[in-house]
Amino acid sequence: MSCLVCGAQFQAPANLIVHQVLSCNECLSEFEVTDTEPLTLVELPPNEEDWGQ
């Protein structure tokens, strides 16, 4: 598939799950899978202030 930001090609892993996070190897942009059939991605919003550990 093509990166939505830089256009680079990258391989989606097998057995994708809706809401899974993917990242472009070239520009490191991150995307969220919103559908698997057909594969649909949206750019992940910036990290929220209360995310992560």
Binding-site ranges for another protein (CB under 8 A): 17-21, 32-33, 44, 47-53
Q: Which is nearer to another protein, 37 or 51 (CB)?
A: 51
Q: How far apart are CA 32 and CA 27, in angstroms?
A: 15
Q: Which is nearer to another protein, 37 or 48 (CB)?
A: 48
Sign of CA dihedral 9, 12, 17, 19: negative
CB of residue 13 to another protein, shortest distance in Å? 9
Q: Which is nearer to another protein, 7 or 23 (CB)?
A: 23
Q: How far apart are CA 50 and CA 33, in angstroms?
A: 22
